[in-house]
Every structure is written in structure tokens, then in C-alpha cells.
Structure 1
Amino acid sequence: MARKPGSSPQAMRSRAAKTAAAMASPAAVAQSQPKKKTSAAQFFREVRAEARKITWTTRRETWITSVMVAIMVVLAAAFFSLVDAGLQFGISQILKLASAG
């Protein structure tokens, strides 16, 4: 009877080790890696480098996005007003039927 590929004990141990490493908690991974000490100057250099990567939206993009949000707010308000009016009408009709009987 032939064995399935990857069913050797060595392959199984390898897969188990990979699974355990993948499922290790972030705290365990952080403890296993030695921490580098950085100076304040190094920290601020890294902060400046990351800040240079920020892309800000243009005035036009901000304006278009704001208008789209305002339109969606108006549409949502109209929708919920219609739903509220419909439910109010339906419940009032049910209460009229209940009080008449």
C-alpha cells in the first residue's frame, strides 16, 4: 500500500511547526524577538520619514466628497421619513380597527 505524499513523520512535524508558528500570539512573537533600542533622534527621523509618505486630499476631492456625503444624508433622511410615515399610518389603522371592535 502506497503512502500519501506528505504523510511522513518529518513532513508532519514540519507542518505542525509551521502551524504553531502561524498561530503564535503577537505577544509571544514579540517576546521571542530581541527589542532594538532606539534613540529619540532616531525615533523622530523615522516619524518624519513616515510623515513624508502621507498624501493629503486636494480641495476639489474634499469638496466632492463633502457634497456626496450631504446628498447621501438627505436621501437617507427622506427614506427614513417615508418609512416612519408608512409605519405610523399602518399602526394607526391597526389601532383604529382594535378600538372600533
Structure 2
Amino acid sequence: MAKAKSPGKRPQANAKPQVGAKAQAGAAGAAITVDSPEPKKPRPSVPQFIGQVRAEGRKIVWPSRKETWITSVMVFIMVIIAAIFFWIVDTGLGFAFRWIIGLGS
């Protein structure tokens, strides 16, 4: 697992320890270096790209008819459960709202 970096503390390649007032003044005027971006990868030609797409397409594992049916039924059941839950919550909040409004009249 990678070690988390603390913000604001970057390792410096050629950092030399300095002592005294000159160290503080030198650190304030230090230049910040930025890593150069990685070179771009060459783009494949159209036939190479099509070959790569076909190779990736062969790796796809399609679900069977039975797996698709079971998943569809499970989704349908979850939709019904969610609809009943939200209907109960909506009805309860409607009654509570009407009761609170009725207190003022």
C-alpha cells in the first residue's frame, strides 16, 4: 500500500541543510521546480486500433439468459420495495403536514 503524502512537504533532490538567518532568507526565495510531463504515447493506426478493439471485445463475458432473467426479476422486486417505502413515507409526511397545518386553524 502506498504511503500517504502530507500536503505542503515535498522532498527536494538537492536540499542542503542551512543554518541561521541566511537559511530562512534563502528558503523564502527558493525556486519551485515542476516535473516535465511524460512524453505522449504514439497513436496507433486505424487497423491497429480496430484490432485492439476486437481483442478487447473478445474478453467480454456476457451473462447467460438465466442470469439476465434473475437480475431483471431482482431489479423489479427492488423497484417495488422502494416504491412501497416511498409511498408510506410520503403518506405519513402528508398526514403529519395536514395535522400541523390544522393546528393553526
Please, what TM-score do these two structures have when normalized by structure 1?
0.63
Gaps of 5+ in 1: 1-11, 15-23
Tell me what 2:47 maps to: 41
> Please, which moves more after superposition, 70-79 or 39-48?
39-48
Tell me what 1:58 maps to: 64
Give the residue type in structure 2 aligned to 1:55. V
Gaps of 5+ in 2: 1-10, 14-34
Distance 1:37-1:81 versus aligned 2 partners, 3 A rule? closer
Q: How does 1:1-101 map to 2 (within 5 A)?
A: 12-13=11-12, 29=37, 32-99=38-105
Identity %: 50
Work out the CA distance in 2 between the residues paired with 1:85 and 1:34.
59
Give the residue type in structure 2 aligned to 1:77. A
Please, what TM-score do these two structures have when normalized by structure 2?
0.61
Calculate the aligned-residue CA RMSD, in Å: 1.9
SS in structure 2 at match of 1:85? helix
Moved over 6 A (4+): none
Q: Larger relative contact order (C-alpha < 8 A, sep ≥ 6)? A: 1
Q: Number of paired residues?
A: 74
